[in-house]
Structure 1
Amino acid sequence: MKKIFSEWLKRNKIHLLVWGIFIMYETVIVGVVFGVFGNLLTYVAHYTLILSLFYFHSLIALPWAQKTRVGAFWRLPLILVFQMAVYVCGTFAVDSVLIAIKSITHIKVAKFDYQFILRALYRGLYFIGISSGYYFMITYNKEKRRAEELERIRLNNIINQQRTEHELSKAQNAFLKAQINPHFLFNTLDFVYHKVNTLSLAASDAIITLAEMMRYAIDSDKKGDFVVLSEEIEQVENLLHLYQLRKNNELAIRFEHTPEVGGLEIIPLVLLTLVENIFKHGDLNSPGHEALIEVYRDDNYLHLNTSNLIGHKHNPDIPHTGLDNIERRLGYTYGDLKRFSYGAGDDNYFTVSVSIPLLPLTALPASAAVLKGIDR
């Protein structure tokens, strides 16, 4: 309670100071000019009424009267008449009570005559005028702060726009470099291929296969948001071919896919990432423990499954960044319609299961359908 009162004093100290000076000034002037000094109760009663009129007019009446430009023509006179009537009647009631309890002694009976009404109206209008000035002052300050805030937001937007343009310029430069670097790389691979073609068929085969895979990975973002699954299957076969070349066809891995899945469309690099995960973490050299890659469909889903013996150097605490990235991409595109799971079993096999709904893009979640802008 003490803290609340302290905060209230801090927040209203200017008001208290100004009103204190004003009340002291009026008390002294009236006492000197008219030779009448009231007691504390008289001052408290009358200034409570004045303060109520002042803050009601500035904080409630005027904001209500000016809610609409047209409504102000009838609301303002109405609320003004209402306030003055309440103030005049309130002043008469306060004086009557103060006289009755002998707090006012220089007047014997309170008279509700035209002189009293004129005095009360003059004093009421006097404080309403001051209150109106206070209202316009705080309204001006609010609008000034609002304008300053809007200007600050505008300047921040300009700064952010300039920063975005700078980042865009950097991205464009990086894109140009990225276009130059692959071009140089593919030309170099082509040169090496022709040099080793007559010396080693296996080496030249590996070079041309690697070039195809790298070109597919680099160009995947240019193919749109979806790729035909047959293209990714071809790259998986290239990847398997490269690894088998390196290991003299001794790797225990089998790739099964049904013909009808080739024409389906999926987001790129999903199947390829699953296969790369097998080579990265799997044990493909243990006899009798063949790794398996399966791609097939049923009426509602396309299924991508992998299973492999876990490598001896596998650390379960290392995050599966590639798999988590696949899950996020599938979730963004297919929402809750996708199915995704992975984990190690008691047989020391690591399995991944992906099921993608076979739906037209118009039936996908709104985020996917709107952003893709593709109709099958």
Structure 2
Amino acid sequence: MLYTAWNVAVFLFLVRLQGLEITLRQFGPGNKIYINAVHTIIKGTLVYYLLIYHVMIPLTRNRKWKTTILQCAVFFILLTAYEYVWNFFIVKPDPSSAIDQSLRIFFITTAVLDVLIALIAYFVATSITSNEMRKHKEELEKEKLKAELAAIKYQINPHFLFNSLSFIYTKTLKSSPEAAHAVHLLSEIMSYALDDWGELGTVPLAVEAEHMKKVIEMNQIRFSHNLKIRYYEDIQANYASIPVLAFVTLVENAFKHGDLTDEKNQVSIELIATKSKIYFLVSNKKKTGPKEPSKGIGLSNVQQRLQLMYGIKHSFTIKEDENYYLNEIIINL
């Protein structure tokens, strides 16, 4: 509707600028002027919509200039061919005008208009993208504030916590090295969870993976190394970033709700990161007996933060039946 209104305004301005007589000669007398005017408005709307949303907005996000220039060239060649057929075979020029001169003027005018349309489309796309990024950043900041408030609500004084853990570590190092190591792991896990990771709350993927392994090791110590866990990791894209604790939360959920001692149905954790994609999977057999109470806050928080950060470039799949539970995340970089 917005682009249609824009093209109606442009058409009315054109009529006022060049006068009704020239417009009638250009679009034709009688009903032809209405048909051609509607055609021009619809065509302009489609052209701007396709250029802005399918060419220029992707350009502002991925900066692939060569691809965009090629797309624009193909687009405008097709558009020029369509304009040529419409003007010289459907509408047809005035028989009294010279065809050669009309063709020359047509191609010069079309080229100038194509450049102008491309510039306008790029300007509008930049404005739209900037506005989306501003809103996106505001939403991320709001979510970060909520997470910080939640942390403040449930945590004790961090200095007291870490000083206590340091004291316990020192006291148990000689008498029970494994217990001391567990305390050290717990200290690092808590520090990771409470650290300030910037306004967007993101961390390098490799750092998140490192702390996932610490959570796994901590739980193995808790259960005397009897947990049946299959962990696979292949990280090629070290530059990739994700929301802090996004993957750790899903691993902790598997420990909380999964059957951790079934040799045939091990907890499966996979993390594969290439230059174009991050793939993460956590699957587990559900444990029998009484269930631990859960409000699903952690899972919902992960979903919201991934949606805010990656939008349509990611998918979060949850599969569940009576016996098994699976989380699968795919992020396109």
Residue 269 of structure 2 aligns to a residue in which SS?
strand
- Who wins on radius of gyration, i.e. which is larger? 1
Q: Is the CA contact (8 Å cut-off) linking 2:271 and 2:281 kept in structure 1? A: yes
Give the distance between the partners of 2:271 and 2:165, measured in 1 at CA: 31
Kindly indicate whether residue 313 of structure 2 is the aligned counterpart of residue 334 of structure 1: no
Closer, same or farther in 2 for the Cα pair 1:222/1:314, shift >3 Å? farther
2:288 corresponding residue in structure 1: 312
CA deviations 1:161-201 (Å, max 9, x no partner) are: xxxxxxx9xx99x97x97x9111211111111111111100
Q: Is the CA contact (8 Å cut-off) linking 2:250 and 2:282 kept in structure 1? A: yes
CA deviations 1:296-341 (Å, max 9, x no partner) are: 1345321111111011147699653322221111111111221011
2:77 corresponding residue in structure 1: none
Residue 284 of structure 2 aligns to a residue in which SS?
strand
CA deviations 1:17-47 (Å, max 9, x no partner) are: xxxxxxxxxxxxxxxxxxxxxxxxxxxxxxx
Give the distance between the partners of 2:207 and 2:199, measured in 1 at CA: 11
Give the distance between the partners of 1:203 and 1:272, measured in 2 at CA: 22
Q: 2:301 is matched by which residue type in structure 1?
A: N
Q: Is the CA contact (8 Å cut-off) linking 1:340 and 1:355 kept in structure 2? A: yes
1:207 corresponding residue in structure 2: 183
Give the distance between the partners of 2:198 and 2:318, measured in 1 at CA: 30
2:81 corresponding residue in structure 1: none
Unaligned residue ranges in structure 1 (runs of 5+): 1-167, 359-376
Kindly indicate whether residue 224 of structure 2 is the aligned counterpart of residue 248 of structure 1: yes
1:321 corresponding residue in structure 2: 297
Q: Is the CA contact (8 Å cut-off) linking 2:172 and 2:179 kept in structure 1? A: yes
CA deviations 1:79-100 (Å, max 9, x no partner) are: xxxxxxxxxxxxxxxxxxxxxx
Give the distance between the partners of 2:163 and 2:169, measured in 1 at CA: 10
Residue 287 of structure 2 aligns to a residue in which SS?
coil
Q: Which runs of structure 2 are paired with 1:228-239 in the superposition (5 Å)?
A: 228-239=204-215
Deviation of the 1:266 alpha carbon? 1.1
1:274 corresponding residue in structure 2: 250
CA deviations 1:93-114 (Å, max 9, x no partner) are: xxxxxxxxxxxxxxxxxxxxxx
Residue 253 of structure 2 aligns to a residue in which SS?
helix
2:324 corresponding residue in structure 1: 349
Q: Is the CA contact (8 Å cut-off) linking 1:302 and 1:356 kept in structure 2? A: yes
1:302 corresponding residue in structure 2: 278
Closer, same or farther in 2 for the Cα pair 1:187/1:318, shift >3 Å? closer
Deviation of the 1:226 alpha carbon? 1.9
Q: 1:276 is matched by which residue type in structure 2?
A: E
Q: CA RMSD in A?
A: 3.1
CA deviations 1:104-132 (Å, max 9, x no partner) are: xxxxxxxxxxxxxxxxxxxxxxxxxxxxx
Closer, same or farther in 2 for the Cα pair 1:190/1:277, shift >3 Å? same
Closer, same or farther in 2 for the Cα pair 1:223/1:272, shift >3 Å? farther
Corresponding pairs, count: 186
Residue 195 of structure 2 aligns to a residue in which SS?
helix
Deviation of the 1:202 alpha carbon? 0.7
Residue 306 of structure 1 aligns to a residue in which SS?
strand
Q: 1:187 is matched by which residue type in structure 2?
A: N
Kindly indicate whether residue 288 of structure 2 is the aligned counterpart of residue 289 of structure 1: no
- TM-score (norm: length of structure 2): 0.50
Q: Is the CA contact (8 Å cut-off) linking 1:310 and 1:349 kept in structure 2? A: yes
CA deviations 1:183-236 (Å, max 9, x no partner) are: 121111111111111110011000001000000000044485321111111111
Deviation of the 1:249 alpha carbon? 1.0
Give the distance between the partners of 2:167 and 2:293, measured in 1 at CA: 43
Q: 1:357 is matched by which residue type in structure 2?
A: N
Q: Is the CA contact (8 Å cut-off) linking 1:226 and 1:266 kept in structure 2? A: yes
Unaligned residue ranges in structure 2 (runs of 5+): 1-144
Give the distance between the partners of 1:212 and 1:265, measured in 2 at CA: 20
Q: Is the CA contact (8 Å cut-off) linking 2:257 and 2:292 kept in structure 1? A: no
Q: 1:351 is matched by which residue type in structure 2?
A: L
Give the distance between the partners of 1:243 and 1:233, measured in 2 at CA: 16
Deviation of the 1:248 alpha carbon? 1.4
1:6 corresponding residue in structure 2: none
2:192 corresponding residue in structure 1: 216
Residue 157 of structure 2 aligns to a residue in which SS?
helix
1:35 corresponding residue in structure 2: none
Q: Is the CA contact (8 Å cut-off) linking 1:293 and 1:305 kept in structure 2? A: yes
Residue 355 of structure 1 aligns to a residue in which SS?
strand
Q: Is the CA contact (8 Å cut-off) linking 2:205 and 2:242 kept in structure 1? A: yes
Q: Is the CA contact (8 Å cut-off) linking 1:281 and 1:314 kept in structure 2? A: no
Q: Is the CA contact (8 Å cut-off) linking 1:338 and 1:356 kept in structure 2? A: yes
Q: Is the CA contact (8 Å cut-off) linking 1:304 and 1:353 kept in structure 2? A: yes
Give the distance between the partners of 1:257 and 1:185, measured in 2 at CA: 32
Give the distance between the partners of 1:340 and 1:351, measured in 2 at CA: 11
